[in-house]
């Protein structure tokens, strides 16, 4: 007697759950081997059938709702920004270079040498947030231009005053100059 489709689906799911790690590794390895080939084919298919792809994408967006699609995009974007910020913080020691604070939500990039305002004027929106972290990464995490401080230390030293934590000029400490 032939199996019912429902039974085949159940068997497939059971097999997948029992061998999940092996299957994922096999698929990941296959993709890694053929990545350029796959991407090239996808780009070619998109270029040849752009209108069809756009129609499908618009139909899907209409089906699930624009707000849902935007929420998914924002969630992915937030994850990328968090990873990028974590990478920059790790490259600069993973802690505030003044007080030693390690909670990532409190840490942010600091322009060494008080040139942040000039940088924001010159670069505009590109010198803020994820764009700044991306630029720092592209520059190879230069220690002479950027550092990591917690927001307390940044706010306390923004007018050139010494940080209350250490009573030391933070900018001098970041540049390695003894006060």
pLDDT tens-digit readout, 75-131: 778 888 888 899 999 999 999 888 888 998 999 888 887 777 787 788 766 667 888
How much helix, strand and coil, in percent to the nearest 5, is found in the chain? 70, 5, 25
Give, as one character, the DSSP assignment of residue 107. E
pLDDT of 178 reads 42
Does pLDDT of 159 surpass 80? no
Q: Nearest to residue 109, comparing CAs of 78, 125, 87, 124?
A: 87
Write down the domain spans for the chain.
70-175
Angle 99-100-102 (CA atoms, 0-180°, nearest 5)?
130
pLDDT of 88 reads 93
Q: Where are the alpha helices (DSSP H) in 92-143?
A: 116-123, 129-138
Mean pLDDT of the chain: 82
Q: How far apart are CA 107 and CA 86, in angstroms?
A: 10
Residue 163, strand partner residues: 168
Model pTM score: 0.55
């Amino acid at each position: 007697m032939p199996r019912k489709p429902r039974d085949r689906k159940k068997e497939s799911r059971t097999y997948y759950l029992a061998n999940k790690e092996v299957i994922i590794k096999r698929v990941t390895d296959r993709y890694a081997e053929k990545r350029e080939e796959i991407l090239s084919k996808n780009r070619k298919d998109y270029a040849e059938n752009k209108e069809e792809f756009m129609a499908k994408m618009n139909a899907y967006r209409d089906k699930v709702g624009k707000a849902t699609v935007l929420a998914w995009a924002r969630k992915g974007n937030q994850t990328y920004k968090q990873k990028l910020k974590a990478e920059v913080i790790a490259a600069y020691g993973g802690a505030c270079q003044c007080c030693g604070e390690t909670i990532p939500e409190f840490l942010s990039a600091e322009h060494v040498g008080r040139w942040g305002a000039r940088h924001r004027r010159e670069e505009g929106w590109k010198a803020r947030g994820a764009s700044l972290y991306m630029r720092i990464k592209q520059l190879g995490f230069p220690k002479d231009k950027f550092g990591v401080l917690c927001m307390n230390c940044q706010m306390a030293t923004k007018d050139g005053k010494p940080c209350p934590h250490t009573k030391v000029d933070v900018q001098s400490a970041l540049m390695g100059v003894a006060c």
